[in-house]
Amino acid sequence: MADGSHGGHKQRVRVAYSGEERGFGAGAVDEFLQKAQTVGISDGGTDAVSGARPQELDKNRAMRSYEFGHPSKQPLRTKEQALMAVKAHTADYAIVPFYHPHYGYDFETLRALASQITLFGVEQIVSETEYVLAVYEPQVLDFVQSSHPGSTLSTIMTGAGKHLWSRSGEPGAALTGVHKLPDNSGFMASPAQQAMLRDRVESIFASPVAARACKSKLDGLRQAGVLVEETLETIEPHRDFARRVRDVLDHTRQTATTFDFTSGESRIQSVMPNTAAQARKLYGVVVPREIASGPEYIIIDDKFADADPAKTRFMAVEYSPDLTLFEDAYRTTDAKTRYWMRRLRDVAHDGAHAARKAGAEIALNPGGAMLALLGLIFAGVGLAGLAGWRGVPLIPGTPEMVALGDAAALALGAGLALVGFGRFLKQVGGGEHDMNGVRLMLAFQRSGSAASLADVENFLRNFGVRHAIVRADEDSERNYPAASVIDIEFMCDDLYWNPARRLRGSVMNGALKKAFAKWKSRGVLVLAAMPFDKPQLPPHKTRHWLWDAPIEWTKDFVETMAIRLSRVLLYVAIVALAGYAAWMLLFGAK
């Protein structure tokens, strides 16, 4: 765990993310740092295979001695830049979004991760962004100061505590001239004043993400004649908005500052010689609440999004090469599967450690142990009877009946033992109270014989494993289809062998073998392995071969026959009625 709880020299953790200092991604960084200091961050299972790691690849991860209490944040423009900062060792972690409940998976993040073999997602963070409509406060001051005296607009900034440059009240502030400017220190407009300012807005800036989140209100403003400008993905809207507004501020305003040497107070007097500011446009911008809470903005609509803020899932990416891609020792499918099984089980144990630190309880299942013991007793008695031990016959009968009873006891005991061990292992070996699940993301290069993912998906569906398939790119060429990503959520029961579910190893072991068998293990890249507390993907129904196959065949047969016969059913009915009438006419009177 990289929770910084051990001693020794610690370096400040460097976290790169996409967005401005308080823009998109900053909230996820705060959640990441808080989680790192409370429950710790998973290392992607590298501790389980540290003995097989070359020394040259371990120089960036020596002792994982990061100081999360004093981080070095690196706001970058794009997700690719944040990921490349980790690859170039100028950042220790990159926080990038990878899933939104309304917009789906982030193609840019998945495509960038699939193109690198040294970057690996180790943790998922949940953050939500609440969008509001705000205006630039200096422009509002121009409107207020140039308005007609006595009008409603001129009364906005009147009253105690309404001005920005109010004294902080701290000792010595009046003598030093230092004034405190925390967040929310700007002017807070009332609902009536917000509505009046909204009516004067003529142009609104919004990023593509904000435009999708606030589509309903933006469409309504477009119908009312308001110009909505959608900025580029790489441009922060409030930056472009501030530059545009500063160009239209009234530059004829005159200010005079006087300083009282006796009291140490300064007074500022502002005079506007004309009312030209009243004819200028009032600009608005759709930004997260964290940005709008700054002293330069006034919120004029604090519920601007279409619905409650959705929880965007971010991924913490670090430098962690996959040794199976370039080490000859892992060329076979079995060797690569064993390597990743060790790493994924270590990830699950990291999640268990976090769950225990958070106060989770570990519970055992004594019922499973009793069933297993009873099954072993029945199986032992039946096996001994078949082996020749006469025992104590409770019910006299023929030798054939005794042999049949021994075989039945053996079968019953084996069944009870399987069910009992299954229930017992479900709790002790990796139950839902013992450790968390693992969210695994696999990227498949679909080309030639490895183009289909049906075998992997069919295996996951057979065992009811939650999963989703998404393309890593927006389009596919004819000769080179785009890579696909399978997002899988393995519960803790899938990590360990359970004969009641699968005889040939654990469910995760079987899924990894199916995936790594493509392209001789070279066409599959593990993008991320992250522990989770609760699954987020929709559940899948477990298939049962004993009764699901006949039921599905019957449903398919009935549906197919109904479709085929529906076209001729009318004609068949007419012919049947005509035949019945002819029969009655010819033979009914006899």
**pLDDT score of 574:** 86
Number of DSSP helices (H) and strands (E) in the chain, helices first: 17, 17
pLDDT band at 150 (very low <50, low <70, confident <90, very high): low
- pLDDT (mean) for 546-574: 77
Q: Which residues of 229-252 are buried (b: 16+ CB within 10 A; e: fewer)?
A: ebbeeeebbbebbbebbeeeebee
CA atoms 287, 131, 215, 195: torsion sign: negative
Residue 20 φ/ψ, nearest 5 degrees: -85, -175
Among candidate residues 347, 373, 431, 265, the one with its CA nearest the CA of residue 48 = 347
CA distance 553 to 34: 53
Tokens representing 8 are 């020794």
pLDDT score, position 497? 81
Summarize the confidence of residues 272-296 as an average pLDDT: 81
Which of 84, 65, 63 is CA-nearest to residue 10?
65
Beta bridge partners of 288: 131
Question: Given a cut of 70, is residue 212 above it in pLDDT?
Answer: yes
Q: Which residue has the higher pLDDT, 174 or 524?
A: 524
The predicted structure's pLDDT at residue 180: 39
CA distance 222 to 266: 45
24 CB-near residues (< 8 Å, 6+ apart): 18, 129, 207, 209, 288
Output the furthest CA–CA distance in the chain (Å, rounded).
Answer: 133
Q: Across the strands, what pairs with 14?
A: 72
pLDDT in tens, 465-487: 999 998 877 666 666 777 889 99
| Dihedral sign of CA atoms 29, 35, 37, 41 in order | negative
316 band by pLDDT with thresholds 50, 70 and 90:
very high
- Nearest-CA neighbor of 164 among 196, 197, 186, 189? 186
**Cα dihedral angle (98, 99, 100, 101), rounded to 10 degrees?**
180
Burial of residue 171 (number of CB atoms within 10 Å: 0-12, 13-18, 19+):
exposed
Structure-block tokens of residue 118: 């040294």
Centre a 10 Å sphere on the Cβ of residue 10 and count the other Cβ atoms it contains: 16
Q: For all residues of the chain together, what is the average pLDDT?
A: 76
- Phi/psi-derived region of residue 7, left when phi > 0, alpha when psi is between -120 and 50, beta in every other case: beta
What's the pLDDT score for residue 520? 58
Q: Nearest to residue 416, comparing CAs of 458, 367, 457, 357?
A: 367
Please tell me whether residue 467 adopts helix, strand or coil conformation: strand
Residues 6+ apart with CB under 8 A from 1: 40, 41, 42, 43, 350, 353, 354
pLDDT confidence tier of residue 7, bands split at 50, 70 and 90? very low
Instruction: For residue 97, give the nearest of 2, 153, 24, 14 by alpha carbon.
Output: 24
State the CB neighbour count (10 A cutoff) for residue 453.
17
Q: How far is CA 221 from CA 127, 199, 284, 450, in A?
A: 28, 10, 12, 50
Tens digit of pLDDT for each residue in 78-116?
888 899 999 999 999 999 999 887 778 888 889 889 888
Distance CA 438, CA 509 (A): 13
pLDDT at 556: 78
The whole-number pLDDT of residue 365 equals 62
Work out the average pLDDT over 320-347.
Answer: 86
pLDDT number for residue 218: 92
Q: Quote the CA–CA distance of 135 and 285 in Å, as a whole number.
A: 6
Q: What is the dihedral sign for C-alpha 393, 394, 396, 400?
A: negative
